[in-house]
Structure 1
C-alpha cells in the first residue's frame, strides 16, 4: 500500500525537527513539510483550508468548533505553549503601575480573539478584577496596517473593539502615544528597539508567571494540531498515527536538549533553564495528550465562552478525534 502524500504546516520548532528531518516517521504518511510563521499558517488554514495537517490557533479552532463549521479535527498535540505575562507592553509615561491601571486605557491588539489575548484577559480579570469591557480595544497589524480578524466574532456586551486608523500600525501608535498599551503574542518593534517610553507592564514577568503557575497549575496552550476532516473520514487510523509521531518527535527533541556535551541551541545556561522548568512543572512539563491537559483546556474554553468568543460552551472532548485521545499500554 502506498503512503499518503500529505502537506504538514507547522512552525520551525525544535520539537518538530525530528519529524521534519525524517528521524521520526508518521505511519503510513509521506509528508511534505511547510515551515511558516503562525500568522501565515492560521490565515491559510482558516480562510482556505490549505493544508492536510496543520498547526491551529486554539482560539480560532474553538470558535469554529462551537459553530460546527471547522474543516479540521484536532489531535491533542500542542506545538505552542507560553506564559503570557510577557505579552503586555505599556507606555511607561501614562501612570500604569499595575494591571488595575489599564482600566479606561486604549489597548492595541493584532486580533481580539487571539489565544494569547484570551489567556491575558483571564488573569487580568481573575487576579486583578480588570474586565474586558473596562478598556477600549484597538485592532490592527503590529507592523503592517490593515490586519483583520480571521473569523467573525460575537463579542460580549459592553466590549468595544475599533479598528486602527487607516495606514496605522500598533507599534507606531504605541511609540507615538496613540495607544496606552499593546497586548499580543509578539513584541511590537518599538519595544524590541528600546523605545524609552515603552516597557513591560510587569517589572519581572517571569516571576509573575511562575507565581501564577504555582497558584493555578496552568501552562497555557496556544496552538493544537488539526487534520482535515475529509482525510480522517477516509483514513480513520490517521489521528493516532499523527499523535504518536508528534509525541515521539517531542521526546527526541527533549533528549537532544538534555545533552550537555554540546549545547543544541544558541543560548548559554540552557541546561539550567531545563532543570528549573522540570523542578517547577515536573518532568513532562510540555505535555501532549488529553488527560494531562483536561484542566487547562476546561479553563480556556470557559474563559473563551464567557467572553462571547464561542457561541456555546465547548467541552474539551469535542476538540479532538476520539482515536487520538487514548493510547495502548504494554
Structure 2
C-alpha cells in the first residue's frame, strides 16, 4: 500500500530531530520535513495553508476553534513551552519595581493574541489583580513594522489596544521612552545592545519562574502540533500516527539529556541542569498528552476567554483530535 505523502513544518527542536534524521518515522506516511523559525511557520501555515502538519501557536488556535474556523486539528504535542516572566522588558526610569507596577503602564506587544502575552496577562490577573483593560497596549512588530493578528479578537468597545506608529518598531519605541515596557518572546534589540534604561523586570527570572511553578503547577504551553482538518477527516488514523511518532522522538531527546558517559548536549553541566529541573518539576517535566496537562490547559482556555480572545469558554476535551484523548497503553 502506498504511503501518504505529508509535509511537516516545525522549528528544529531536539524533540523533533529524530523525525528529521529518520530515526523515527510516521506510520503510513512519506514525510517531507521542513524545519523553519516559528514566526515563518505560523505565517505560512495560518495565512497560506502551505503545510499538511505544522507547529501552531496555541493561543491563536484557541481563538479560531472558538469561532469554528480552525484550519488545523490540534494534537497534544506541545513542541514549545516556556515560562514567560523572562519575557517582560521595562524602562528602569518609570518606577516599575515589580509586576504590580505594570498597572496603568503603556506596554508594547507583537500580537495581543500571542501565547507568550496571554500567559503574562494571566499571571498578572491571578497574582496581582491586574485586568487586561488596566494596561494601555500597543501592538506592533518587535523589530520591524507590520506584524498582524492571525484571527479576529473579541475585545469590548473602547478596550485600550492601539497599533504602533507606522514605520516604528516596539524596540525603538521602548528605547526612546515612548513605551514603559514590552512583552515579547524575543528580547528587543535595545536590550541586547545594552541600552542603559532598558532591563528585564526579573533579572533573576529563573528563581521567579521556579517559584511560580511551585505555587501553581503550571508550565506554560506556547505551541502545539496541528494537522489540516481535511487531511485528518480523510485519514482518521493520521492524528494517532503523528502523536505516536512525536512522542517517540521526544523520548529519544530525553534519553540524550540523560547520557553522561559522553555528553550529547554541548553544555558542561547539562546533567546538573537536568537534575535541578527535575528537583523542581519532576522527572516528566515536559509531558505530552491531555491528562498530564489538564491543569495548564484549563488555565489557558480560561485566560483566552477572560482576555477577549476566544468567543466562548472552551472545554479541554474539545481541543484535540478525539483519537489522541485516549492513547493506547500496552
Moved more, 260-269 or 114-123: 260-269
Counterpart residue number, 1:305: 305
Deviations along 1:134-159, one digit per CA (max 9) or x if unpaired, are: 11111111111111112211214553
Say what the alpha-carbon RMSD is for the aligned residues.
1.2
Q: Distance in 2 between matches of 1:156 and 1:121?
A: 17
Confirm or deny: 8 A CA contact 1:81 1:221 kept in the other structure: yes
TM superposition score normalised by structure 2: 0.97
Counterpart residue number, 1:11: 11
Counterpart residue number, 1:133: 133
Aligned residue runs from structure 1 range 127-276, under 5 A? 127-156=127-156, 159-276=159-276
SS in 1 for 2:206: helix
In the TM superposition, residue 268 of structure 1 has moved relative to its aligned partner by 2.9
In the TM superposition, residue 59 of structure 1 has moved relative to its aligned partner by 0.5
Q: Distance in 1 between matches of 2:107 and 2:76?
A: 32
In the TM superposition, residue 261 of structure 1 has moved relative to its aligned partner by 2.7
In the TM superposition, residue 266 of structure 1 has moved relative to its aligned partner by 3.0
SS in 2 for 1:79: strand
Structure 1: tracts of 5 or more residues without a match: none
TM superposition score normalised by structure 1: 0.97
Instruction: Indicate how the Cα distance of structure 1 residues 300 and 317 shifts in structure 2: closer, same or farther if over 3 A, else same.
Output: same
Counterpart residue number, 2:316: 316
Counterpart residue number, 1:63: 63
Q: Distance in 2 between matches of 1:232 and 1:257?
A: 33
Q: Distance in 2 between matches of 1:143 and 1:312?
A: 33
Q: Distance in 2 between matches of 1:128 and 1:204?
A: 19
Moved more, 81-90 or 46-55: 46-55
SS in 2 for 1:9: strand
Confirm or deny: 8 A CA contact 1:99 1:130 kept in the other structure: no
In the TM superposition, residue 163 of structure 1 has moved relative to its aligned partner by 0.6
Extract structure 1 runs of 4+ deviating beyond 4 A: none
Moved more, 195-204 or 260-269: 260-269
Confirm or deny: 8 A CA contact 1:239 1:324 kept in the other structure: yes
Tell me the number of residue pairs that the alignment of Structure 1 and Structure 2 aligns: 330
SS in 2 for 1:301: helix
